[in-house]
Amino acid sequence: MPRITAAHEAEKRQHILDAARRVFVAKGFHEASIDDVVAESGVSVGAIYNYYGGKDELIHESILAAINVEADAALANGRFVGSARDKMERAIQGYVDFAIDAPGAAAFLVQCWALASQKPLVRDLLVRRRERTVTVAALIGWEAVKAGELPPDFDVEAMARGFTALLDGLVLQRVEEGDSYRRPDLERRVLAFLDLVAPRRTDDGTS
């Protein structure tokens, strides 16, 4: 009998998790069932329970995976060289790529928020998600203060939390707009607020 490698196990877990997320987006957390995940993944019920304890664990792992991908993308995009404005723009692009433009991402996140009042574990995961996004924005803000791009007394934490709330508001707008959604329109909205915090500088150094 061929040996099942760790890589094969990880691939199988990810396959089930991806299928579960598609089901959650399509049917919602409440309506989705393990049978739906079986149908979507092509994996038997027994195999699913071999990797996951049930629907609640699939929900938990789906949210955790989304958090990690989203925050890592924003951090990777934002931590390159350049001005604070350049870093913030790249971080925003990473956020939009994975939290808004990725298939089903915005709808999935909205469902997570809806479930948070009933599931403390989901609420805790969303708090963790928010704090990771705040950290990315704060790191860029602190670097800007150190570089003299922002005044020494600038409230970096308030800016980071406010900007995180703005980005999450764009997720809601994405769901509300449906087929009328256009990424350039969304980016224009968020850049209008970014102009207030970190205006783009001209070649002579003025804003």
Query: Mind listing the pLDDT tens digit for each residue in 115-147?
Result: 898 888 889 989 988 888 888 889 888 988 998
Phi, psi (5° rounding) for residue 198? -135, 80
Any domain includes 206: no
Q: 179-205 burial, b for 16+ CB within 10 Å, e for fewer?
A: eeeeeeebbeebeeebeebbeeeeeee
Averaged pLDDT, 64-90: 71
Supply the pLDDT for residue 1. Answer: 45
**Is there a single domain that holds both residue 66 and residue 37?**
no
Number of domains in the chain: 2
Residues 49 and 64 reside in one and the same domain: no
93 and 48 inside one domain: no
Domain at 105, CATH number? 1.10.357.10
pTM score of the predicted model:
0.75
CA–CA separation, 91 and 127 (whole Å): 19
Task: Identify the CA nearest to 16 among candidates 115, 27, 101, 39.
Answer: 39
pLDDT at 52 exceeding the cut of 60: yes
Question: Is 140 within 8 Å of 91 (Cβ atoms)?
Answer: yes
Task: Estimate the crossing angle of helix 120-146 against helix 55-78, to 10 degrees.
Answer: 10
The answer, yes or no, to whether residue 199 has pLDDT greater than 90, is no
Contact in structure between 70 and 129 (CB atoms under 8 Å):
yes
Question: Residues 20-27: what's their mean pLDDT?
Answer: 86
Mean pLDDT of 80-102: 83
Q: Are 144 and 150 in contact (CB under 8 A)?
A: yes
Of 31, 53, 75, the residue that ends a domain is: 53
The rounded mean pLDDT for the chain is 84
| Final residue belonging to a domain, choices 11, 30, 53 | 53
Domain that holds residue 16: 1-53
State whether the Cα torsion 43-47-52-54 is positive or negative: positive
Is residue 184 in some structural domain?
Answer: yes
In angstroms, the Cα distances linking 161 to 58, 133, 155, 156, 181 are 29, 8, 10, 9, 25
How far from chain centre, in Å, is Cα 154? 26
Region 61-75 average pLDDT: 72
Asked if residue 153 and residue 118 are part of one domain, the reply reads: yes
